[in-house]
Amino acid sequence: MSDYQEVGCACGKVRLRLDGPPIASVECLCTSCREAGKILETLPGSPKIVDGKGATPVVMQRKDRVEIVSGSEHLREFRLSPKAATRRVVATCCNTPVFLEFTGGHWLSLYAGLWPDNARPKLELRTMTGDLDDPSALPDDVPNLKQHSLTFYARVLGAWIRMGFRSPKFSVEGELNV
Ligand SMILES: [Zn+2]
Ligand SMILES: [Zn+2]
């Protein structure tokens, strides 16, 4: 199979190789993504990761289909609180947020900004819109899910089954001080 592509941080030091299609291309409207985005966007040179409607676009990819091909020494993790189950990993060479990961999860949510505009997987749905004060203001170009729907879980679970229920580890050099 040659269905792979490379994406990376803004300065090009951190490169990831992705094999096969994503699990899903989504916009997350949850409070945690919006809070983390606000903080990470204060890093010098950091790109904007939360858009005007409060959405964080991410591409979900099986962990066994992501390989960090260069620059892993620049990666640092950020958690909203020390015990948070979610970490967000940033390429500190240029402060590009790279991915979001739930502890024990079998996928990575890669920040959509890693892709050039013309190569980004097309948006399929929005999740966690119930966290917004006024979800009715969202466009209806794709399904707007209040939480995560059954279809959404079926996709995520289906990917894990195909992975043989494994959950590869991604090691990161240390923590990020914001
Ligand atoms: Zn960089
Ligand atoms: Zn979120």
- Look up the CATH number of the domain holding residue 98: 3.90.1590.10
Residue 149 has pLDDT above 80, yes or no: no
Dist. CA 77 → ligand 2 center (Å): 16
Looking at every residue in the chain, the average pLDDT score rounds to 92
Looking at the domain assignment, is residue 175 inside a domain? no
Please check whether residue 134 lies inside any domain of the structure. Answer: yes
CB neighbourhood size of 116 (10 A): 8
Model pTM score = 0.92
Q: Is the pLDDT of residue 1 over 50?
A: no
Q: Label the pairing between strands 174-175 and 75-78.
A: parallel
- What per-residue confidence (pLDDT) applies to 28? 96
Using the mean position of ligand 1's atoms as its centre, give its distance from the Cα of residue 37 in Å. Answer: 18
Q: Tell me the ligand closest to 60's alpha carbon.
A: 2
Which pLDDT value is given to residue 3?
82
Inside any domain, residue 59: yes
How far does the centroid of ligand 1 lie from the alpha carbon of residue 91, in Å?
Answer: 6
Contact (CB, 8 A) for 33 and 53? no
Q: Is the pLDDT of residue 121 over 60?
A: yes
Taking CA 156 as the corner, what is the angle to CA 142 and CA 167, rounded to the nearest 5 degrees? 145
Is residue 75 one of the residues assigned to a domain? yes
- Which run of H or E residues covers position 161? helix 150-162
What is the number of the ligand closest to the CA of 114?
1
The amino acid that residue 102 corresponds to is F
Residues 139-147 have a mean pLDDT of 92
Contact between 126 and 143 under an 8 Å Cβ cutoff? The reply is yes
d(CA 32, ligand 2 centre) in Å: 6
36 in a domain, yes or no? yes
Over the stretch 153-174, which tens digit does the pLDDT of each residue have?
888 888 888 888 888 888 888 8
The boundaries of the domain holding residue 59 are 4-168
177 lies in some domain: no
> pLDDT (tens digit, 9 = 90+) per residue, 88-106?
999 999 999 999 999 889 9
pLDDT of 50-60, one tens digit each? Answer: 999 999 999 99
Q: What is the pLDDT of residue 90?
A: 96
**CA 74, CA 51: separation in Å to the nearest integer?**
25
Residue 2 has a pLDDT of: 56
Ligand 1 centroid–CA 95 distance in Å is: 7
Phi, psi at 67, each rounded to 5°: -130, 130
Q: How many domains are contained in the chain?
A: 1
**Mean pLDDT value of segment 15-30:** 96
Q: Let me know if residue 95 belongs to a domain.
A: yes
